[in-house]
Homo-oligomer: A and B are copies of this chain.
Amino acid sequence: MRPNKNRSDCPISSSLDIFGDRWSLLIVRDLMLYKTRTYGDFTKSEEKIATNILANRLQLLEENGIIIKLPYPDNKVKGLYRLSPKGIDLIPALIEIALWGVKYVSGSDGSSPFLKEVKKNKTKFLKNIMDTLPADDEANVH
């Protein structure tokens, strides 16, 4: 469990205090790509996150208001996770990280349709994906 104590008032440092680990942004990535995921969906991602870490990160991300857990329709066991507006606003950072990876990390796959679209027109891609994700106010409907 990563405590939520800020090391300084630097915005970069404060941000990293929240998601500066090897897993949190991968959860955000999955929600960016697939819109909604269940707990089990996350465990099926390529990176094979351990279930205890997944549970911990989902909790921390929810506590930090980055993701939202909703009931799964007609099923009391499953839950549905999705990005909050705060989480959606992490996408620009995620895109820059992805572009850096494609450019510099050998063995990283830049051929996904997702990335092709990003490379073609970053602004347009961002606008498109923002539109497909739940809007600001919809997140608070009760």
| Residue ranges of A at the interface with B (Cβ–Cβ < 8 Å) | 6-18, 20-22, 25-26, 29, 46-48, 65, 86, 89-90, 92-105, 107-110, 115
Chain B: which residue is nearest A93 at the CB level?
B96
Q: In the bound complex, how far is the Cα of B29 from the Cα of A44, in angstroms?
A: 34
Counting chain B CB atoms within 10 Å of each CB, which of A18, A46, A108 scores highest? A108
Check B15 against A100 for contact (C-beta < 8 Å). Answer: yes
Specify which chain B residues have a CB less than 8 angstroms from the CB of A29 in the assembled complex. 10, 12-13
Q: 8 A-B contacts, Cβ less than 8 Å apart?
A: A7-B48, A8-B47, A12-B101, A14-B105, A16-B25, A20-B21, A92-B99, A93-B96
A1 CB to nearest B CB, Å: 14
Specify which chain B residues have a CB less than 8 angstroms from the CB of A94 in the assembled complex. 12
Chain B: which residue is nearest A2 at the CB level?
B22
Check B22 against A21 for contact (C-beta < 8 Å). Answer: yes
